[in-house]
Amino acid sequence: MPNRRPNILMILTDDHASHAVGAYGSVVNTTPQIDRIAAAGWVMEHAYCTNSICTPSRASILTGTYSHVNGVTTLATPIDNRLPTFVSQLRDAGYRTAIFGKWHLGEGEGHNPRGFDEWEVLSGSGGQGEYVDPLFLSPDGERRREGYATDVITDLALEWLDRQHEEDPDAPWCLLVHHKAPHRPWEPDEKHAGMYSDPIPVPATFTDDYDTRGLAAHRAAMRIADHLTREDLKQDPPQGLTYAEAALWKYQRYMEDYLACVASVDDNVGRLIDHLTDRGLFEDTLLTYASDQGFFLGDHGWFDKRFMYEDSIRMPMLVSYPAALPAGRRSERFITNVDLARTFLEAAGVEPHPGMQGESFFTDLREELPPPQDQAFYYRYWENDDGAHSALAHYGIRTQRYKLIYFYNDGLGLPGTRQNVFAPEWELYDLERDPDELHNRALDPKYAEVLSELKERLAFEQAKVGDEPYVLAHDGEGSPWPRRRPPESVR
């Protein structure tokens, strides 16, 4: 081990799918700068988000806890900034700390960033921030900065790094560079606009008809063909297209802008790596590139995230630290966003807060340990129809071979009716035979035994992290009803 504590740099993007990263074998773009981290360190093949949406994932990353523990279950639940985070713990241990870019964990006293020596975060659009001339919030108040958000955020980070280097080149620091990109509405900068005009490969599952899935997939308002807006597309589709042709036209338009936003991220990752390299800091920096979740890039016909399907829950996660970790490796270990806090703290030699969940994977990477046997992780999406994307709440587990999902479908009207449904549904996917998750086997008698074992495993994993099965809150025509447990058949 090196005799100095590492600098910790986390570059976190928003909605960057791992299948749009070169190091993960992207067929739709290249990311030469991000791939430098992979070449210098580890590609985590199975990095998962435990609640696939922006605000909760950020809370889990910072606090090292699941949504039901930190309380940030939905996009609308701000963080209680008194919660210990890996950043506040590093600061207590003598690290200099800063965050620039997207916070999106609430604004105001009690919710603003805490535990940072310096912070300046995107403030407009309800914490989402703006792509062009974005508004920032810092302890000094609001201020608009000219330029393209991804460049501006990187500029702030580089300026801060220079100040730290001038003050004391040897004292360790922890810097979070949190980009807004490539979040909706996917506004590229001028430099990258038009760079993806050639036809972009369409995923094999683009025309998924959700034949064997439950209500949730049919109901979700995340379909490229139907739910991208004019603001998303920036122009109207050509006249006279069939439904299928229009869907493909929208896919191309969506992906052109999405990938151009990623291209700017990639350039700016390169600027950060160059900056560290030029100052001799790259070797001693634990550099992580990750996104708060994955994203559907036309997979199953969707954009967006939320669902427990692979494209949505799989985070890109690249980790380099040349002074301590081997280079050019790929890990099959299951890790989640909850594990990051303990991992950073272990690398820094700082004792984690006892309330932090998850496990550090730092030693696994340093010593190249094989992945544990029989891995599984627990997932829960809490928003039960947000009124916009209309994804339904669910929880489940993913094991090495299978995925089991429980949609509790409580208190929601069937599409186009006022009739409430309570129709819990299971989905079971055999990822070995069906890696694209096209065939729900929950009702297939051949999988009855597997289903029963997975239900037990789900109960075990759920209890292990301290969560509980869903208890119905409503019954009948939208009226509150005494809370009761679901019938035996769906437990």
Check residue 292 for interaction with Ca ion (CB under 5 A): yes
Cα separation of 390 and 288, whole Å?
Answer: 32
Stretch that binds Ca ion, among 51-59, 172-180, 251-259, 392-400 (CB under 5 A): 51-59
> In the complex, what is the shortest distance from the CB of residue 10 to Ca ion, in angstroms, rounded to a whole number?
15
For the purposes of burial, counting CB atoms within 10 Å of the CB of 2, is it exposed (0-12), middle (13-18) or buried (19 or more)? exposed
Q: Residues 426-447, buried b or exposed e (16+ Cβ, 10 A)? A: bbbbbeeeeebbbebbbeeeeb
- Of 59 and 490, which CB lies nearer to Ca ion in the complex structure? 59
Shortest-Cβ-distance residue relative to Ca ion: 54
For 360-366, the CB contacts below 8 A with 24+ separation are 361/331, 361/333, 361/335, 364/331, 364/333, 365/41, 365/42, 365/319, 365/325, 365/326, 365/329, 365/331, 366/1, 366/324, 366/325
Contact pick of 6, 7, 8, 15 for Ca ion (by CB under 5 A): 15
- Of 52 and 89, which CB lies nearer to Ca ion in the complex structure? 52
Stretch that binds Ca ion, among 49-57, 133-141, 247-255, 262-270 (CB under 5 A): 49-57
The amino acid occupying position 381 is Y
In the three-class reduction of DSSP (H, G, I as helix; E, B as strand; rest coil), residue 376 is classed as strand
For the purposes of burial, counting CB atoms within 10 Å of the CB of 197, is it exposed (0-12), middle (13-18) or buried (19 or more)? exposed
For the purposes of burial, counting CB atoms within 10 Å of the CB of 475, is it exposed (0-12), middle (13-18) or buried (19 or more)? middle
Residues 412-451 that bind Ca ion (CB under 5 A): none
Contact pick of 54, 272, 276, 412 for Ca ion (by CB under 5 A): 54
Cα separation of 76 and 56, whole Å?
Answer: 9
Find tokens 């340093």 and name the residue. 366
Stretch that binds Ca ion, among 13-21, 87-95, 263-271, 450-458 (CB under 5 A): 13-21
Stretch that binds Ca ion, among 131-139, 167-175, 287-295, 424-432 (CB under 5 A): 287-295
CB contact set of 22 (below 8 Å; sequence gap of 6+): 29, 30, 31, 32, 34, 35
Stretch that binds Ca ion, among 53-61, 332-340, 361-369, 385-393 (CB under 5 A): 53-61
> In the complex, what is the shortest distance from the CB of residue 258 to Ca ion, in angstroms, rounded to a whole number?
13
Stretch that binds Ca ion, among 291-299, 342-350, 354-362, 416-424 (CB under 5 A): 291-299
**Closest to 318 (Cα-Cα) out of 294, 291, 296:** 291
Q: Tokens standing for 310?
A: 């692979």
Q: Are 323 and 2 in contact (CB under 8 A)?
A: yes
- Of 14 and 267, which CB lies nearer to Ca ion in the complex structure? 14
- Of 34 and 376, which CB lies nearer to Ca ion in the complex structure? 34
- Of 54 and 340, which CB lies nearer to Ca ion in the complex structure? 54
Stretch that binds Ca ion, among 48-56, 95-103, 237-245, 474-482 (CB under 5 A): 48-56
Number of residues that bind Ca ion (CB under 5 A): 4
> In the complex, what is the shortest distance from the CB of residue 469 to Ca ion, in angstroms, rounded to a whole number?
27
- Of 14 and 385, which CB lies nearer to Ca ion in the complex structure? 14
Separation in Å, CA 158 to CA 91, 164, 165, 342, 445? 20, 10, 10, 26, 58
- Of 54 and 222, which CB lies nearer to Ca ion in the complex structure? 54
Check residue 14 for interaction with Ca ion (CB under 5 A): yes
- Of 57 and 331, which CB lies nearer to Ca ion in the complex structure? 57
> In the complex, what is the shortest distance from the CB of residue 86 to Ca ion, in angstroms, rounded to a whole number?
19
> In the complex, what is the shortest distance from the CB of residue 419 to Ca ion, in angstroms, rounded to a whole number?
33
Check residue 304 for interaction with Ca ion (CB under 5 A): no
Where do contacts with Ca ion occur on this chain (CB under 5 A)? 14-15, 54, 292
